[in-house]
Structure 1
């Protein structure tokens, strides 16, 4: 695995309350051959100071001089990345210890281009909140048009097989557009059913406000992909329905 360097990409904006837990989860990975590009996007809290407290030569902090948004911040990391494999973690989420090892081994052993895992869904205090999100396997381009079952938190792709793929400029749906671009290149993306991370659900998260991004999702179909009004509406309705199902509050049945 000597040449299998993993590049981790993290945009950071005002995450002083969470970034230390994120960093510790990366430092505790069983796979140690990684570099980490953290791009602070003009935070006005103590995020930068918190990051600098961790003295690890694998961590590279870039402090942006202007607010560029999460997509461009990730692209800055991608452009600097030297690893064969690229993966992402946001500045308030947590990986379980074997995420990197299991993801990279899956890609190498199975000669796949893109893999992603299931994840746990906890509240802001990392207490269980929803049932685990179980990753759906064999995602194709045609399948992803209905909704986005690929979580950025537990995804990893192989640049040796597909090259570097930057995040398109699609307002609030950038990660979805990136998976679309990757699935235009490959037959399918593969899933690891085991939960390998913890997604922190924050009360005021944009991703939880489906009505706010309903128009943005429609624009992906109509403007970015150039689909007809009928097809754009059809896929948007499917996306909305699947989104409600994904975040429906369920009774938690205990730790898994």
Structure 2
């Protein structure tokens, strides 16, 4: 039977979290899925732990060279056979009803792209921040200001918009992909119910917004070919929105 949903996961040195991620997929109430886990030359036990789960729906691809998350996701997309495509990073977890809820929303509402709210926990999956509640009705013009579409709870209909490859945009590839999709469709829709847990790791938080400011500017100036004034304007808006998103963040170990 052809899978209805294809799940794409890039993996790199995720031995500490990958088993929890896999179990969250196996716990899904919607079962007609395939899962492409693409290992990007991990040097830890990630591959061993993935292979320990003997489920024919899980397919492991091992890249020949370390190529980054964008290439890993694209390799999974190339192999995907499901009509609906969704992404899950190797340290995050889904609620058991995520696939069922997102799939039903797309089918019943005849939408192309949907995403859900999510919980924000620390590395040990303890609550850290209030839930991120997804903003509805995201258009191309709206997404230029910042990226309100989370990778871990998004699903799109490839039969209606085609398979969308991850653009080669350094550190901003997921944002660039949503931009590409929103060039094709009127809007993306949101599910207000939190359907996943995003694991906020100290290493990811230490990479603050200013460190990737130039990368974000390049999205506007090079990827979208906007003017210097427009690129500066949108970059400043993106930075301000990013600081607001995490302004109350306190790691338990630093209290």
Under TM normalisation by the shorter chain, which class is it?
Answer: over 0.9
How far is the alpha carbon of 1:211 from its aligned partner? Answer: 1.4
How far is the alpha carbon of 1:58 from its aligned partner? Answer: 0.1
Q: How many residues align?
A: 250
The answer for unaligned runs of 5 or more in structure 1 is 252-256
User: Does the residue aligned with 1:205 lie in a helix, a strand or coil?
Assistant: helix
1:24 corresponds to which residue?
Answer: 23
1:54 corresponds to which residue?
Answer: 53
Contact conserved, 2:114 with 2:156, CA < 8 A, in 1?
yes
With 178-187 and 201-210 compared, the bigger mean Cα shift is at 201-210
Cα 1:205–1:248, aligned 2, differ >3 Å: closer, same or farther?
Answer: same
Q: CA RMSD in A?
A: 1.3
1:220 corresponds to which residue?
Answer: 219
1:139 corresponds to which residue?
Answer: 138
Contact conserved, 1:4 with 1:85, CA < 8 A, in 2?
no
Contact conserved, 1:37 with 1:60, CA < 8 A, in 2?
yes
Cα 1:4–1:46, aligned 2, differ >3 Å: closer, same or farther?
Answer: closer
The answer for unaligned runs of 5 or more in structure 2 is 251-255
How far apart, CA to CA, are the structure 2 residues paired with 1:238 and 1:85?
32
Cα 1:207–1:77, aligned 2, differ >3 Å: closer, same or farther?
Answer: farther
1:79 corresponds to which residue?
Answer: 78
Cα 1:207–1:24, aligned 2, differ >3 Å: closer, same or farther?
Answer: farther
2:122 corresponds to which residue?
Answer: 123
Whether 2:204 is the aligned partner of 1:187: answer no
Deviations 1:202-235 (Å, cap 9, x if unpaired)? 0011785211111000000011101011110000
Cα 1:24–1:170, aligned 2, differ >3 Å: closer, same or farther?
Answer: same
Contact conserved, 2:3 with 2:81, CA < 8 A, in 1?
no
User: Does the residue aligned with 1:204 lie in a helix, a strand or coil?
Assistant: helix
With 3-12 and 186-195 compared, the bigger mean Cα shift is at 3-12
Normalising by structure 2, report the TM-score. Answer: 0.96
How far is the alpha carbon of 1:65 from its aligned partner? Answer: 1.4
How far apart, CA to CA, are the structure 2 residues paired with 1:61 and 1:199?
23
